[in-house]
Amino acid sequence: MMLLVVGCSHRTAPVELRERAAFDQDRLGHALDNLVARYGCEAVIVSTCNRVEFYLARPDALVALDAERIAEFLAEFHELSAAKLVPYLYEYRGPKAVGHLFRVAASLDSMIVGEGQIAGQVKRAYEVAHERGTVGPILHLLFQHAQQAAKRVRRETGIARGHASVSSAAVEYVRQVFDHFGGKTILVIGAGKMGELTLRHLRDLRPQGIWVTNRSAEKANAVAAACGGKALPWVQLDEALAKADIVLSTTGATEPIMTLERYEKIRARRSGPVVILDIAVPRDFDPRIHDGDRTCLFNIDDLKRIREQTLQDRLKHVPSAEAILADEERRFLKEWSRRKHGPVIARLTQDLEAKRQAIVQQLLARLNGRFTTQDRTYIEGAFRLLQNQFLHGPISALTEEAHESGSHTLLEALRKLFRLQD
């Protein structure tokens, strides 16, 4: 088997280059067809915002293919300069290519370690290639195994635990205060971009209602329409604050919109607790209103602390994830070796078995009558032992060589030495 990975990622190439080298869904199929037609190999292209990678495989050697050839292909396809692409490309062959795909699928090679999107993107890349008919037995087995390895890493380690974005971290604080969201109301103040992402996560909690207020009624209406909420006039802000359970504030105001004095009047009218997510910079709420009991106020720095902690925690799980992937890599190579060498080993064993039986029969026929039954059994056993010891060397060599790309040569040598026919 010859397996090759050539590509560029956020680790090796700037975003400007990755953008230009990426394949959209429409052109991906065309690129796959081109690759297969040109190089006669199996092919899968993983193209995301953080990486563009070519996975190529052939049962025999892929000697002619390397990073330079792929750079030429990319340059031709995207009308780029091949010479400018080459320095950003990396190349892995054989077991290293297997290990690389496993790390990518398990998101150990991602910008945010443990993020969940990449596993789906790898799966989608495989599915597109499969639909296009550019996947053969090698890449089929490889990608199936990569998906299993990624699942095992997520299941057996804490690599995907916690919230890795500021917007999702907000939900973690909200859940410390509230348990049920069916009867809760979210009040959105302002219409900042950051607020949109956070609101998306809050909407997943399925609140009873969403109110949106903004100094500009037009913007309030737009945000309310986008999230299925209700727009409120800016003058009703205090009234809404007295009733809302979760407040998301993202205005572009240069001064705090809610001073302590103003909020104290609202606090007196409130009955239940409130969580205020003030993700505006500069902040919209006076930090002194936070009491950790009836009013819980969290600003952008508090949410960033959760994100940083999550990322730190995830890094602690990288060694155990790497160990799982190393184990999965061994299992894949063993499985592949079994599939690839199985027929040759079976043929070799059958061949020697037939020869042994013929020689033993001949010997026993010539010496007929001189041996007891016990002697015959002993002679047959001795020949079988000789055959097994003879086969042990080549079979072990094949298994051991499975971790290296040279096993193909050994297989060919065995075929020639023992005159094994397909």
Partner 1 sequence: MERITLFCFGASYAVALALELAQLLWPRAVQRLLAALFAGAGLLAHTLFLAVQRPPLRDPYGSLLFLAWILAVFYLYGSIHHRRVAWGIFVLPVLLGVIILAALSGRPFDNVSEGWNLFSLDAEALWRILHITFFILASVGICVAFVASVMYLVQARRLREKALPSQGLRLLSLERLEEMNRRAITWAFPLLTAGLLVGMVQMWYGGDGLHEWTDPRILATIILWLVFAIVLYLRYGYHLRGRRVALLTIMAFALLLLTLVTQHSFTAGGAR
Q: What residues are labeled active site?
A: 49
Applying CB under 8 A, does 155 fall inside the site for partner 1? no
Stretch that binds partner 1, among 95-103, 177-185, 258-266, 320-328 (CB under 8 A): 177-185
Applying CB under 8 A, does 208 fall inside the site for partner 1? no
Burial class (CB in 10 A: 0-12, 13-18, 19+), 416: exposed
| Closest listed residue to residue 228, CA positions, set 266, 257, 199, 264 | 199
Among 117, 144, 176, 236, binds partner 1 (CB under 8 A): 176
Applying CB under 8 A, does 242 fall inside the site for partner 1? no
Residue 52: strand, helix, or coil: strand
Q: Compute the distance between CA of residue 388 and CA of residue 253 in angstroms, rounded to an integer.
A: 83
Stretch that binds partner 1, among 66-74, 235-243, 285-293, 390-398 (CB under 8 A): 285-293
The values of phi and psi at residue 247, to 5°, are -120, 130
Closest distance to partner 1 from the beta carbon of 246 (Å): 12
Applying CB under 8 A, does 133 fall inside the site for partner 1? no
Neighbours of 255 (CB within 10 A): 8
**What is the 8-class DSSP label of residue 282?**
S
The runs of H, that is alpha helices, within 137-216 are 137-156, 166-177, 193-203
Among 84, 200, 288, 294, binds partner 1 (CB under 8 A): 294
Q: Which is nearer to partner 1, 55 or 181 (CB)?
A: 181
Among 178, 211, 263, 332, binds partner 1 (CB under 8 A): 178
Closest distance to partner 1 from the beta carbon of 115 (Å): 17
Closest distance to partner 1 from the beta carbon of 150 (Å): 22
Closest distance to partner 1 from the beta carbon of 278 (Å): 12
Neighbours of 269 (CB within 10 A): 11
Applying CB under 8 A, does 112 fall inside the site for partner 1? no
What is the CA 205 to chain-centroid distance, rounded? Answer: 26
Among 293, 365, 370, 422, binds partner 1 (CB under 8 A): 293
Q: Strand (E) positions, 190-344? A: 209-213, 230-232, 246-249, 274-278, 295-299
Applying CB under 8 A, does 298 fall inside the site for partner 1? yes
Closest distance to partner 1 from the beta carbon of 110 (Å): 20
Applying CB under 8 A, does 291 fall inside the site for partner 1? yes
Q: Which is nearer to partner 1, 161 or 392 (CB)?
A: 161
What length is written for the chain? 422
Applying CB under 8 A, does 177 fall inside the site for partner 1? yes
Q: Compute the distance between CA of residue 215 and CA of residue 190 in angstroms, rounded to an integer.
A: 8
Residue 249: strand, helix, or coil: strand
Hey, what are 335's tokens?
């499985």
Q: Write the DSSP assignment of 254-278 as a string of letters.
A: SS-SB-HHHHHHHHHH--S-EEEEE
Among 66, 68, 123, 173, binds partner 1 (CB under 8 A): 173
Binding mask 33-72 for partner 1 (x = CB under 8 A): ----------------------------------------
Closest distance to partner 1 from the beta carbon of 247 (Å): 15
Burial class (CB in 10 A: 0-12, 13-18, 19+), 229: buried
Applying CB under 8 A, does 175 fall inside the site for partner 1? yes
Among 94, 95, 162, 195, binds partner 1 (CB under 8 A): 162
**Which residue type sits at 19?**
E
Residues 6+ apart with CB under 8 A from 58: 1, 2, 40, 41, 42, 138
Q: Compute the distance between CA of residue 73 and CA of residue 43 in angstroms, rounded to an integer.
A: 13
Applying CB under 8 A, does 337 fall inside the site for partner 1? no
Q: Which is nearer to partner 1, 105 or 324 (CB)?
A: 324
Closest distance to partner 1 from the beta carbon of 209 (Å): 18
Among 47, 214, 310, 407, binds partner 1 (CB under 8 A): 310
Q: Which is nearer to partner 1, 239 or 313 (CB)?
A: 313
Residues 6+ apart with CB under 8 A from 123: 143, 147
| Crossing angle of the two packed helices 95-105 and 318-366, in degrees rounded to 10 | 140
Among 30, 155, 304, 305, binds partner 1 (CB under 8 A): 305
Among 33, 196, 313, 322, binds partner 1 (CB under 8 A): 313
Binding mask 252-271 for partner 1 (x = CB under 8 A): -------------------x
Site residues (vs partner 1, CB under 8 A): 161-162, 172-173, 175-180, 271-273, 290-294, 296, 298, 302, 305-306, 309-310, 313
